[in-house]
Amino acid sequence: MKAIVYDAPRKFEYRDVDTPKIRPNEVLLRVHACGVCGTDLHVHEGEFGPRFPLTPGHEFSGEIVEIGSEVTGLNKGQRATASTTMACGKCFYCQRGDFLQCENLDGIGVEVNGAFAEYIKLRSDLVFPIEKLSVRESVMVEPTACAVHGMETLDMKPGSTVLLLGAGPTGQVLAQLLKLNGAARVTVAAPAGPKLDLIARLAADDVVAIDRQDPEIHRQHLRELSPHGFDYVVEATGSPQLLQDAISLASRRGTIMVYAVYADAATAQITPADIMRRELQIKGSFAQIDCFSRALAYLESKKVKVDEIVTHEVPLPDYQKALELAWSRKGIKIAIIP
C-alpha cells in the first residue's frame, strides 16, 4: 500500500509499505479520508512526542475490509472510525482511573502509525461504526470527541457568558457545544474571513475580528461587549499572546481553559497576584479517551453541524500541498483522500 512515512522531523516520503497484518482482536480499515490537524503540524516539526518512523493522521474514517478471528459486533463493509488514544491500564494514573493522563499513553498518528495511508489496522475495541455521516462529516468525529472532553473539563455553569478565542475546525464545534450546553451568550474572536463567517452562522452570538496589527482594537471591543469580563474564556488558537489576553478578559472568579495545541517551547507571562486576587481558575484540556460515542451522537443527530468545515480535499500523493494549505491557513479543514 501507499503511505506517508516520516523517518525524522520534516523528512517524509510518499512510499510503498506493507499493508498491515491484523491480529485476532484487530480490524483492517480502508481509509476514505483523514483530516489534517494542528497536531500533525507539530508532529511534522518533531513536537508532541512522535515515535519515528511514523505515518501520521488521526482524524479518519473508512471501510472495514478485514476482521480478526476474535472480533465481534463489527462487519466487513461497515463504515467506521476509531478512538485514537490508548492507555496502558497499569501505570500510577491508570490505576487511579485517570486514563487520559496515562504515563505510557499511545496515540494513533503520534506514537502508532496513523491514517495518512491507504489502510490502517485498529484494535476492535477502539472502532465505532458510522451510520449517518458523509465522508466529509466523518473527518470531524475525532475533533468533536476532543471538544466533548473540553466541555467536560470546562464544567460550565448554565447561563454563563463565554469568550472563545479561535474559529478553527474544533472551535466551530466548541462554539456549538457551548450553546447546546447552557451558555447564555457566546462571543468568538478570530481573524476576519471564512472561519469567522461560518462560526457566526453556526453558533456565535457576537463575533469580533482579531486585529493583528493593533490588538488593542479587538481587546477594547471585547471589553465593551462584556464590561465585567467573561465567565469562561477558551483559548483555542495556540497563541501565547492570546492566552495572556484570555486571562485579562476573564471575569472575577472566571475560568480560562487552554485548549489549543501549543509549540513545546511556547511560554506566556502571567501575573500570579492577579490570579490570586480575582480567584481565577486556569484549566487545560488534552485530547480525549472516552468521548467518541457522545461525539457521534451529537453529529449523527445533527445537533452539531460540521458539513461545511472540510473545505479542501487533497490526494495522498500531494501531502506537501496539504501541509502548505494548513500553514497558510487557507480554508478551514483539509482532508487527505487516499
Residue where a domain stops, chosen among 241, 268, 284: 284
CA-based max dimension of the chain: 62
pLDDT at res. 55: 98
pLDDT at res. 170: 96
Segments forming the whole domain that contains residue 329:
2-140+309-337
CATH of the domain at 109: 3.90.180.10
Whether 311 has a pLDDT exceeding 90, the answer reads yes
Same domain for 163 and 192, yes or no, is yes
Sign of the CA dihedral 96, 148, 286, 335? positive
Same domain for 163 and 278, yes or no, is yes
Q: pLDDT tens-digit profile of 56-76?
A: 999 999 999 999 999 999 999
Same domain for 118 and 245, yes or no, is no
* 291 part of a folded domain: no
CATH of the domain at 157: 3.40.50.720
**Is 310 in contact with 140 (CB distance < 8 Å)?**
yes
Q: Which residue has the cell 459486533?
A: 73
pLDDT interval class at 114 (50, 70, 90):
very high
CA dist 146 → 31, 38, 84, 199, 317 (Å):
21, 13, 11, 18, 28
CB atoms under 10 Å from CB of 11, counted, come to 12
pLDDT interval class at 272 (50, 70, 90):
very high
* 299 part of a folded domain: no
Q: pLDDT tens-digit profile of 147-175?
A: 999 999 999 999 999 999 999 999 999 99
Same domain for 112 and 24, yes or no, is yes
**Is 35 in contact with 335 (CB distance < 8 Å)?**
yes
3-state helix, strand, coil in the chain (%, to 5): 30, 30, 40
CA dist 205 → 163, 183, 186, 202, 242 (Å):
10, 10, 5, 9, 20
Count how many domains the chain has: 2
pTM for this predicted structure: 0.97
- Rounded to 5°, angle at Cα 16 from 335 and 27: 65
Mean pLDDT value across residues 95-104: 98
**Is 170 in contact with 143 (CB distance < 8 Å)?**
yes
334 vs 314: CA distance, rounded Å: 7
pLDDT interval class at 329 (50, 70, 90):
confident
